[in-house]
Amino acid sequence: MKRSRKLRHEFVEFIPSVREDGVVYVSIPYATAVHNCCCGCGSKVVTPISPTDWKLTFDGETISLYPSIGNWSFPCQSHYWIINNVVKWAPKWSKEKIECTRREDALRKEEFYKRKHRSQ
């Protein structure tokens, strides 16, 4: 498997059904970024852009996604950041750390939407 290091991005309305390796497709209308896993396994990585999921930064030339992308459901279990169109690899996480992070993410999301609902 070839591990991507440098990416490019394309702003699109609709995510193409056939994706090119090394390209992050960003749909602003659908608040989603999609790319093939950077490890080279070909898995489709979907990163919803929202207050409780990923944040996208565009500096006029490059994109960054925050937080890191942990592909825990894929056989590769790759983990990386996309910063200024460059893949920064992260260490492999234990099953315990993955499960703990998933629980924390679910709790944060639940609290966010409770607060949002109360303020309306």
Instruction: Tell me the pLDDT tens digit for each residue of 103-115.
Output: 999 999 999 888 8
Question: What are the sequence ranges of the domains in the chain?
Answer: 8-92
Contact 31, 44 (CB under 8 A): no
For position 98, what pLDDT does the model report?
Answer: 93
Percent of the chain with pLDDT over 70: 97
Residue 2: band (very low, low, confident or very high) from pLDDT cuts 50, 70, 90: low
Compute and round to an integer the Cα radius of gyration of the chain. Answer: 15
Q: 95 is written with which tokens?
A: 């099953």
Lay out the sheet containing 55-58: strands in order across: 55-58, 63-70, 79-83, 86-89
Q: For the range 31-34, what are the long-range contacts, defined as Cβ-Cβ under 8 Å and sequence gap of 24 or more?
A: 33/63, 33/65
Q: 52 is written with which tokens?
A: 């409780």
